[in-house]
Amino acid sequence: MYAYTKDEVLLRVDNVSLSFGNTPILRDINVTIQNIKRPDVIEGQVVGLLGPSGVGKTQLFRIIAGLQEPTKGQVLLGEKGAPVKVGQVGVVAQHYPLFKHRTVLDNLMVAGKQAGMNNAKAKDKAIELLRRFNLESHAGYFPVQLSGGQRQRVAIAQQLICSENFLLMDEPFSGLDPLMKEEVCKLIIQVSRMDEKNTIIITTHDISTAIEVADTLVVLGFERDTANNVVPGARVRAVYDLIQRELAWHPDIKNLPQFSQVVREVSELFKSLK
Nearest to 46 by CA among 223, 174, 190: 190
Pairing mode, if any, of strands 45-50 and 72-77?
unpaired
pLDDT at position 152 is 87
Per-chain mean pLDDT for the chain: 92
Nearest 5°: the CA angle 48, 51, 55 is 130
Using the Cα atoms of residue 53, residue 55, residue 61 and residue 63 in order, give the sign of their dihedral.
Answer: positive
Residues whose CB is less than 8 angstroms from the CB of residue 81 and which lie 6 or more positions away in sequence, other chains included: 9, 12
Over residues 34-47, the mean pLDDT reads: 94
pLDDT at 178 (0 to 100): 85
Share of the chain above pLDDT 90, in %: 72
Residue 18 β-bridge partners: 26
pLDDT in tens, 12-21: 999 999 999 9
| Residue 53: band (very low, low, confident or very high) from pLDDT cuts 50, 70, 90 | confident
The total of other beta-carbon atoms located within 10 Å of residue 210's CB is 25
pLDDT the model gives residue 114: 85
Burial of 238 (0-12, 13-18, 19+ CB in 10 A): middle
Instruction: Report the pLDDT averaged over residues 231-239.
Output: 96
Above 80 in pLDDT, residue 1?
Answer: no
Identify which of 254, 251, 248, 250 has the alpha carbon closest to the alpha carbon of residue 48: 248
Q: What local confidence, expressed as pLDDT, does residue 82 receive?
A: 95
Residue 30: pLDDT over 80: yes
pLDDT average, residue stretch 136-145 = 95
Closest to 99 (Cα-Cα) out of 67, 141, 37: 141
For residue 273, the model assigns a pLDDT of 85
Residue with the larger pLDDT of the pair 13 and 161:
13
DSSP annotation of 66 reads: T
pLDDT digits (tens, 9 = 90+) for 75-101: 999 988 999 999 899 999 877 778 999
Calculate mean pLDDT across residues 52-73. Answer: 94
Query: CA 129, CA 160: separation in Å to the nearest integer?
Result: 9
pLDDT of residue 96: 74
Confidence of residue 57 (pLDDT cuts 50, 70, 90): very high
Domains of the chain, first to last: 1-88+169-190+210-274 (3.40.50.300), 95-163 (no CATH)
